[in-house]
Amino acid sequence: MTIFNPTQQKNNARFLVYLSVVTLMGGTLLVLEYNAVASLRAEERALRKTIETASVKNAELKSELYSATDARRLEEMALSSGLVLEKRPQYLTVQ
């Protein structure tokens, strides 16, 4: 003959409810964390693309600057403007 104890059945049911709640909360937390990681990865990709675009633009601007300040080009611009290179320039002095 088997005798069931009602308090033991309550404790088993309570344990199962607690276990279910903890499992459900853990699953929800995992899904939320996965979504956060996925959105951060997408944001990282977008930022990397922005950095790459900015790097290319920076290289183009450097190239343009270096070509504009090239010594031969500056000499050609000076000669075309009628400027003359003085061998012994006299600067302003205070007397």
Residue 81 lies in a domain: no
Residue 93 lies in a domain: no
Range of the domain at 64: 7-76
Residue 88 lies in a domain: no
**Which residue spans within the chain are E strands per DSSP?**
none
User: What is residue 4's predicted lDDT score, i.e. its pLDDT?
Assistant: 65
- The structural domain count of the chain equals 1
User: What is residue 27's predicted lDDT score, i.e. its pLDDT?
Assistant: 97
Residue 27 lies in a domain: yes
Residue 83 lies in a domain: no
Would you say the pTM of this structure is higher than 0.85?
A: no
Contact 73, 67 (CB under 8 A): yes
Residue 61: pLDDT band with limits 50, 70, 90: very high
- Residues 31-53, mean pLDDT to the nearest whole number: 98
Q: Cα separations (Å) of 59 from 20, 49, 70?
A: 58, 15, 16
User: What is residue 7's predicted lDDT score, i.e. its pLDDT?
Assistant: 67
Evaluate if residue 88 carries a pLDDT over 60: yes
